[in-house]
Structure 1
């Protein structure tokens, strides 16, 4: 006498071609998936696991073997894991549909349906968990590499700056000194005041450069930072780039807004975001705008750095803060990742939203001083 399990397996074998055809027609496979053919083969392997589970319960190791294999392929394919989860659920629905049509009495069929559901749920859990573990490990390795590289570059920059001081600042100091002597001896000599102002500005810029390159940026010395002043200095510093890129700017930050943090690190974040906006706007015809606004919610400041450049698509937004991800031909893919790490270091959060009208990078930080409301 044929057992119920044998009848069910025979029915599935009889309709396997139709089942697999329906599953393949409904699943989602990215065109860029390096393992698209293997996805189909994994579906067939899962079908064989189902038939074995109908005969007798599977061990964890039997399910794990296919789950781990699939997880490794999903990582290497570098596609969204949601595709995998969707395809597994499609397979489960198709299997259950065919099992329900087998003609076997419902009471006898229920235990097999429970076993199939359990198999698919366990398979999905093991595969997604292993996928997440692999990606987390990769991310940790990238973060460690970037942290080490960033610190090494800052150290080298500090050493170069020491040499830069002797090679450049000494003659600059002499020029500033002699210019002041000329002003003293010839107070009416034209253009000396302009020369003195420009030399003072150059001396100030060198001081800024040396300050940024010092070791304190690694040690993250904290102080009270006036945001409006920080943005004013930043826009002044970037004026040549804004002019060359034909970009107009509008900054609306309340002068009373203050936060506690490392000024150099915050400057590095804002500089990167504004420079990225200037680069993006070069792809825009017509008016090119950057506007910066702020608001206060629950003792937290929200800063929006917006531009009317091209839209960043959703799949890109989900990846732009990951290390080594870049859409620039000569980009390194660590700029926005470092921005994210520095903002999180200040107990804040950075996100991006984009549409055809504007792209906005939003920074949320704890506020030191809230302006009075009159």
Structure 2
């Protein structure tokens, strides 16, 4: 949220500075080009005057008269003086004002001081400056409008985002509460029926069923309550193969009974993490695979576990050939399940555990297998 707030300020500021920079550069270039043009015009005028005076002197004429005649037809040259040793001669028709530009041409025995009218240059410079100020004012007004529009846009977008997030949050809470109430209600109905049978038939087998139902309900409540608590990792060095072997061992009798073959191709890969939580995540995925295989009509029921070591991370791949259909976007969502007696918490818990280890988990179909792929860093884990 802080990053977004800064972004809302930074973007208009950068835009403002960029536009101002472009405008300033264009006006500076225009002013420079005009000054260069005027300077070039003055220099050309100096060359013409110098050439004229030299020609006049060489032909034995009077440079004063020549300069006077030249000034009558010049729009720039307004005054001239000829300095001969200690004597200064003012050329007839000359006008000497303070704002005129003074230039000096040295000849062999005398110097000519020329006075150019630069009022046009100043007038155009003033005009350029005024245009620059007007353009700057317009630019600032436009930029202020853009800034305001951006602010309104970002505020509306942020408000919409908050509103959407709040709706999603309330929707999730509603779904969670409905799922929990539904599950508890079903369990209580079953418990009530079993209790009635115990009371009427005095059969101990119903007591065992009652005990299992209570345990199942207790497990559901514990798992649902755990969703609201942050995970605390007990990070230690561990061997991934050992954890996989321990998780597989827990299902040995069950898989043997159901005719499911577990093929384990785990390697000795050392990393850091919470052993119990990682084992819980693996147990949930393996359990899902076994349950899927149990209801499938496959003759050969296989669950394959393998590991792959990368440069900075390791992969744990668990796949089964039950190939039960599922919606990928709902697979890791809480309280979403395709199983009759499932809670929809197991895979969500897997995602939380792997994420807490700075890892990722994804599911996909490949060559008739349902594949779960876990990726976690080899050396580090966050708490």
Output the TM-score relative to the length of structure 1.
Answer: 0.42
> Of Structure 1 and Structure 2, which has the larger fraction of its residues in helix?
1
Output the TM-score relative to the length of structure 2.
Answer: 0.41
> Of Structure 1 and Structure 2, which has the larger fraction of its residues in strand?
2
State which structure, 1 or 2, has the greater radius of gyration over its C-alpha atoms: 2
Greater relative CO (CA pairs within 8 A, separation 6+): 1
